[in-house]
Amino acid sequence: MWLKTLLTVSPAAAASVPKQGRTKWCLWLASIMVVMGLGQLLGISPVDSLQAAEVVAQGSAEVLKGAPELAAADYPRVGNSSSRAVVWILAQMHLFFAAFVLAVPLFVVVIEWVGVKTGDARYDDMAHEFMKVSMTAYSITALFGGTLAFALFLLYPDFMGYMLEVFGSQVLVYALLFFLESAILYMYYYSWYALRYGNAKYVHLSLGLLLNVVGTTLLVIANAWATFMMAPSGVDANGAVTGDIWEIIRGPLWNPVNLHRFIANIAFGGAIVGAYAAYKFLSGRSNTEKAHYDWMGYTSNFIAVLSFLPLPFAGYWLMAEVYAYSQQMGITAMGGILAWLFIVQAVLIGTILLASNYYLWSGMSRTEGSYRYKWLVKYIAIVLTGGFLVWVTPHTLILSAKEVAALGGSHHHLLGPLGIMPAKNIAVNLMLIVTFLSFQLYRRSDKVATVSWAPAGNALMVAIYVIAVVNVIFAGVYYGYFTNTVYKVGSSVMQVVSTLVVIVAGVVIDGMMYKGAKKLPSEWGKVSNRSQYALFALPVAFTWLMALMGYVRSSVRGSWHVYTVMKDSSPDNFIPAIGYAGNMMTIVTVMFLLCVLFVFWIASLSSTKQIPPDSQ
């Protein structure tokens, strides 16, 4: 209800603002975002930043006055590049950084709370260092966001004008929340040591909680704009607003996208800070420094893996809602030109799972107790490899006429059945189950259970794993290959439930069984450099995967700006070719990773002190 109250503004009041005035006002808003971002990066005070923003905004308004044909021209080209290419890069870079800076405070507050409950100051120091990494990224997020706003209003004025007519003053709410988030973020970070002990620590935790509430609200507002373009609600067939703003926001895809992006952002943020920990580990010189960043890397991988495990299920829900809203969009995504991209998705997700498991296996060398479980590693690796091969097997092969004649069709008579969803559902669920098993074995490797019912608890856990695996395979084979489509789709629910039961039961049983367990000696920092390369592989795969699925989500609209409501009449009103899209995704991935390296360098530079010449 609090979100509904915050967002509810009269559509009539929003529509009363002239279109040209709304465009100028939004340019002024974008100017503030750009200049404030530059100010944060360069250390300029907020007051000076606002004054500079007014100058930029006035200049932007003069451009509109002096060149009305530019403001009215719907799709000007930028040099030899299309408007879509420019907006694509800016939007994707902004989303990358926004996902990172929204995710970090979510798990930082949890880590800080763990430090309070355990009394271990190391958790507090680690949480502070995670926030330090995200501070520069926050400024870069604002810069890309402001530049994106400029590009949208200058290159797509008609489309943005319509979006303003629909959402009206919610853009102002978004801007106010952005300023509020900035203020709370600076108070939270810079008061860390001023509010570190006693009751003051709870004031600091409250600031962190408030920061996450505002950040999550920003996320769900932005999601409403994106999902309205895919599944508009609260408007008629001609695009006229017929409902209140809450009806417009709460479209059929809003909650699925909210859940999917929320989980994905946490996994993505964990992967990024894990790469930072690996970067610091490899450059560390002392054993103490390596031990600290080894522990930091383990925590980051823990966050990324634990968040990633339920992510495919959130994706299932999203695609089910897409099909329910428009079968055409669903077919375009899963059975049309975009279908082959899910093979690429399988490769990337397989990379994430293999890298995560390898890091866990390498980390087991930190403790002597890991010898009890190492014999299971080869079997986990076999399941992961087999599942990966099934997942990347296509159903329809791209063949020449001669090859089709030699094969007897476009489907391989042995491998063809592995290319359909029942086989892939079996593969992905088994891969997730054994990934959780790796995580569970790692968590147990430095502990010895002391409770009397430990043997019974282990037997129960083994039984849960066996039943889940049998259920996943049976549901996939029987319902997937010997029943009709309704049962095929329904069987995936059984498989998802089986996997979730394993994860939930494993967390609960281990939490009870190893409470007060005997700790075995662990030696942090005693891992190979190869394990740190796995932490580098995670953000690369995650970033490329986010770019890929962003392209799929946007492309299912086809030639529509707002699906079935506002037609795209530009020269780019088609789904980009896969090769072109792959190049664009690779460009933004490389750009983001280079920016991340810059953020790592800045974060490291802040803790570097030069020795005075007299003391050398």
Kindly report, residue by residue over 507-528, the tens digit of the pLDDT: 999 989 988 888 887 788 888 8
Count of H helices and E strands in the chain? 24, 4
Higher pLDDT: 578 or 38? It is 578
Q: 522 near 446, Cβ under 8 Å?
A: yes
Statement to judge: residues 88 and 216 lie in one domain: yes
Residue 156 lies in a domain: yes
Residue 376 lies in a domain: no
Statement to judge: residues 54 and 171 lie in one domain: no
Q: What pLDDT score was predicted for residue 241?
A: 87
Higher pLDDT: 461 or 49? It is 461
Q: In the structure encoding, which two tokens stand for residue 292, read together?
A: 């600290």
**Average pLDDT of span 158-169:** 86
Q: What pLDDT score was predicted for residue 162?
A: 86
Tally the domains of the chain: 2
Residue 422 lies in a domain: no
Kindly report, residue by residue over 483-512, the tens digit of the pLDDT: 776 666 677 788 888 999 999 999 999 989
Q: Which of 8, 16, 563, 557 is nearest to 250 (CA)?
A: 8
Statement to judge: residues 82 and 43 lie in one domain: no
Q: How confident is the model at residue 53 (pLDDT cuts 50, 70, 90)?
A: very low
Q: How confident is the model at residue 78 (pLDDT cuts 50, 70, 90)?
A: low
Task: Specify the length of the chain in residues.
Answer: 616
Q: What whole-number distance in Å separates Cα of residue 335 and Cα of residue 54?
A: 49
In the chain, helix, strand, coil percent, each to 5? 75, 0, 20
Higher pLDDT: 575 or 13? It is 575
Q: 257 near 228, Cβ under 8 Å?
A: no
Q: Which of 66-70, 124-128, 352-356, 558-562 has the lowest mean pLDDT?
A: 66-70
- Residue 73 confidence (pLDDT) above 60: no
Give ∠ CA 115-120-121 in degrees, rounded to 5: 85
Helical (H) or strand (E) element with 582:
helix 578-605
Higher pLDDT: 380 or 56? It is 380
- Residue 465 confidence (pLDDT) above 90: yes
- Residue 416 confidence (pLDDT) above 90: no
Higher pLDDT: 253 or 29? It is 253
Cα of 98 vs its chain's centroid, Å: 9
DSSP letter for each residue of 261-282: HHHHHHHHHHHHHHHHHHHHHH
pTM as predicted: 0.81
Residue 381 lies in a domain: no
Q: What pLDDT score was predicted for residue 410?
A: 67
Q: What whole-number distance in Å separates Cα of residue 428 and Cα of residue 345?
A: 12
Distances (CA, A) of 198 to 112, 129, 189, 205: 14, 21, 18, 12
Kindly report, residue by residue over 315-331, the tens digit of the pLDDT: 888 888 888 888 888 88
Q: What pLDDT score was predicted for residue 240?
A: 86
- Residue 46 confidence (pLDDT) above 70: no
Helical (H) or strand (E) element with 560:
strand 560-562
- Residue 23 confidence (pLDDT) above 90: no
Which 3 state secondary structure label does DSSP give 519? strand
Q: Which of 249-263, 337-351, 575-589, 602-616 has the lowest mean pLDDT?
A: 602-616
Kindly report, residue by residue over 346-396, the tens digit of the pLDDT: 888 888 999 999 998 988 888 877 888 888 999 999 999 999 888 888 777
Q: What pLDDT score was predicted for residue 77?
A: 64
Q: How confident is the model at residue 412 (pLDDT cuts 50, 70, 90)?
A: low
- Residue 405 confidence (pLDDT) above 50: yes
Distances (CA, A) of 191 to 109, 122, 178, 197, 220: 14, 18, 20, 12, 28
Q: What whole-number distance in Å separates Cα of residue 5 and Cα of residue 170?
A: 12
Which 3 state secondary structure label does DSSP give 579? helix
Statement to judge: residues 168 and 281 lie in one domain: yes
Residue 383 lies in a domain: no
Statement to judge: residues 116 and 35 lie in one domain: no
Q: What pLDDT score was predicted for residue 8?
A: 46
Residue 107 lies in a domain: yes
DSSP character at residue 613 = G
Q: In the structure encoding, which two tokens stand for residue 182, read together?
A: 């900035």
**Average pLDDT of span 264-278:** 93
Residue 489 lies in a domain: no
Q: How confident is the model at residue 230 (pLDDT cuts 50, 70, 90)?
A: very high
Distances (CA, A) of 511 to 123, 181, 508: 20, 35, 5
Q: In the structure encoding, which two tokens stand for residue 146, read together?
A: 């402001």
**Average pLDDT of span 457-482:** 90
Statement to judge: residues 269 and 173 lie in one domain: yes
User: Residue for token digits 């077919």?
Assistant: 331
Residue 567 lies in a domain: no
Q: How confident is the model at residue 572 (pLDDT cuts 50, 70, 90)?
A: confident
Q: What pLDDT score was predicted for residue 587?
A: 94
Q: How confident is the model at residue 79 (pLDDT cuts 50, 70, 90)?
A: low
Instruction: Give me the percent of the chain exceeding a pLDDT of 90.
Output: 37
Range of the domain at 222: 73-326+529-549+572-604
Q: 171 near 22, Cβ under 8 Å?
A: no
Kindly report, residue by residue over 168-227, the tens digit of the pLDDT: 878 888 889 989 999 999 999 999 999 988 899 999 999 999 999 999 999 999 999 999
Statement to judge: residues 178 and 203 lie in one domain: yes
| Burial zone of 509 (CB within 10 Å; 0-12 exposed, 13-18 middle, 19+ buried) | middle
- Print the SS3 string covering 197-249: CCHHHHHHHHHHHHHHHHHHHHHHHHHHHHHHHHCCCCECCCCCECCCHHHHH
**Average pLDDT of span 15-41:** 45
**Average pLDDT of span 265-279:** 93
**Average pLDDT of span 228-252:** 88
Q: Which residues contact 43 (CB under 8 A, 6 or more apart)?
A: none
Mean pLDDT of all residues in the chain? 82
Q: Which of 62-71, 147-156, 423-432, 532-541 has the lowest mean pLDDT?
A: 62-71
Statement to judge: residues 176 and 40 lie in one domain: no
Last residue of a domain, one of 9, 42, 65: 65
Q: Which of 261-275, 396-410, 436-450 has the lowest mean pLDDT?
A: 396-410
Statement to judge: residues 60 and 79 lie in one domain: no
Q: How confident is the model at residue 479 (pLDDT cuts 50, 70, 90)?
A: confident
> Which range has highest mean pLDDT (91-100, 239-248, 281-290)?
91-100
Statement to judge: residues 98 and 203 lie in one domain: yes
Statement to judge: residues 59 and 160 lie in one domain: no
Give ∠ CA 317-323-324 in degrees, rounded to 5: 85
- 562 strand-pairing partners: 566
DSSP letter for each residue of 401-463: HHHHHHHTSSS-TTTGGGGSHHHHHHHHHHHHHHHHHHHHHHHHTTEE--STTHHHHHHHHHH
Statement to judge: residues 84 and 212 lie in one domain: yes
Which 3 state secondary structure label does DSSP give 335? coil
- 566 strand-pairing partners: 562
Q: How confident is the model at residue 82 (pLDDT cuts 50, 70, 90)?
A: confident
